[in-house]
A and B are shown apart, each in its own frame.
Chain A
């Protein structure tokens, strides 16, 4: 079964990191991705640009409205994701707990809806 791990970080915290801290954090991500590939959990994943680049689009009555910013303003922002293949929720949670941001922010684990 596939699960999407949505990674929420406080951009302010990440921005406040020194060069050394930031490099070490990225290093942890590379190592995590390698491990997840080796264990067969990894399906895909990407980091996102900061939330100031976000644009939200809505179509109401055929009219497109475009607004600057994310869908919801929150303390922690969606900063990336992994798509993983896991045996069950316990397996997925164990993988998610190893995502480096789990120590700083929050990782939300959502099962993928399968349509037959």
Chain B
């Protein structure tokens, strides 16, 4: 391998870790990014001549830090306050091993994740900043994945960095007392990225698929750095959902879980997901991600749709409602009851949820109602409910699915 290929490989595997440490050492995102860039520029110049260093990561952190201090000194001619800053930064002369040991390094990456997902930042900005800084995606890639203009994404990132700097959001892992709330925010960002990639089943699906992969990578990183039950739960949930990807659509059409070809499910992902669910459920009261993962695991382990353990699924939804009550969870429970006890029981529950008004404009409440009516032979009511769901549906494959259901009803 020539040196240039080595540098490319080091960039791919190490640049985010080096950045995380440089942000801590230099106390500023932009300064650290510039330092990272300078460090790799120096590597391109020196490694072919002097050879690849024994620890590329340590070399890069050291080179980046040195160049950042040097740059501050040069600019200090125009701004005296930078000289003091350069001296202060230079003062932190810890031995290289100390500031790039494996443990410190893991801490730095966690610091970066928690800072990017700080609740004082706008939710959109949390997602963009995490993908940019932690995952190393370019602004263009993020914009493409979220179907937004690159300029919008760039602005979000610039504003978020300005707020981190100006309002002084600290670069640290929250303490034990704050951790549960703050971890929730991080997991929400990861799951949002995953769903953004997972729910897109047509059109730009190729790049958006990468978002799911990115979210799973983030989940693995988090679990490695912070082995909490809910982190394992979220990773399990993502793996189990991802395992069904190949079966979720056929010829661009949506295939519902019960109708999927189970031989297309990825058994490797399922096995890993199930192991993680067991781990997540084995420690204390289960959190919402662990329970959702457990539900996905019950589906994954059913040899056929009609051999699904619906009683266990309803029971898990009861647990989920206690951990995280919401009308959508209630609706999902009602759909499971419709499978366990029959469509009449499901319909009664769905109607009582709809009567409260919370899910009045929620597509899946109406399609679930339609499904119960169809199974009960209430053709007119089923047609009305599918029509309402169709009015609310935005994604093309879902619209086509609902239209097919309506056509099937017409032929009854």
Contact = CB atoms under 8 A, between A and B. Distances in A.
A23 interface: no
B81 A89 contact: no
Contacts of B167: 89, 111
A88 interface: yes
Nearest to B182: A90
Q: With a 10 A CB-CB cut-off, give which of B167, B170, B172 has the most chain A CB atoms.
A: B167
Contacts of B169: 88-90
Majority SS of interface residues in chain A?
A: mixed
A88 B167 CA distance: 8
A95 B211 CA distance: 37
A111 B170 contact: no
A2 to B, nearest CB: 11
Nearest to B172: A90
Contacts of A116: 81
Nearest to B120: A89
Contacts of A111: 166-168
Nearest to A110: B167
A90 to B, nearest CB: 5
A15 B81 CA distance: 50
Contacts of A88: 168-170
A87 B168 CA distance: 9
B371 to A, nearest CB: 42
Nearest to B164: A89
Contacts of B174: 90
A111 B120 CA distance: 13
A1 interface: yes
B74 to A, nearest CB: 20
Interface string B98-127: 000000000000000000000010000000
B81 A1 contact: no
Contacts of A89: 120, 167-170
A88 B115 CA distance: 13
A44 B172 CA distance: 28
Contacts of B120: 89, 93
Q: With a 10 A CB-CB cut-off, give which of B120, B168, B169, B170 has the most chain A CB atoms.
A: B168
A94 to B, nearest CB: 8
Contacts of A1: 168
A91 B170 CA distance: 9
A88 B175 CA distance: 14
A116 B172 CA distance: 27
B172 to A, nearest CB: 8
A86 B260 CA distance: 56
A39 B81 CA distance: 31
Interface string B148-185: 00000000000000000011111010100010000000
Contacts of B178: 90
Nearest to A113: B166
A88 B170 CA distance: 6
Contacts of B166: 111
Nearest to B163: A89
A5 to B, nearest CB: 13
A102 to B, nearest CB: 15
A88 B171 CA distance: 10
A88 B163 CA distance: 12
B106 to A, nearest CB: 21
Contacts of A87: 170
B173 to A, nearest CB: 11
Contacts of A91: 170
Contacts of B170: 87-91
A91 B169 CA distance: 9
A111 B168 CA distance: 8
B226 to A, nearest CB: 18
Contacts of A93: 120
Contacts of B172: 90
Contacts of B168: 1, 88-89, 111
Nearest to A3: B167
Interface string A83-116: 0000111110100000000000000000100001
11 contacts: A87-B170, A88-B169, A88-B170, A89-B120, A89-B169, A90-B172, A90-B178, A93-B120, A111-B167, A111-B168, A116-B81
Interface of B: 81, 120, 166-170, 172, 174, 178
Interface of A: 1, 87-91, 93, 111, 116
Given A111-B167, A111-B168, 14 more contacts: A88-B168, A88-B169, A88-B170, A89-B120, A89-B167, A89-B168, A89-B170, A90-B169, A90-B174, A90-B178, A91-B170, A93-B120, A111-B166, A116-B81
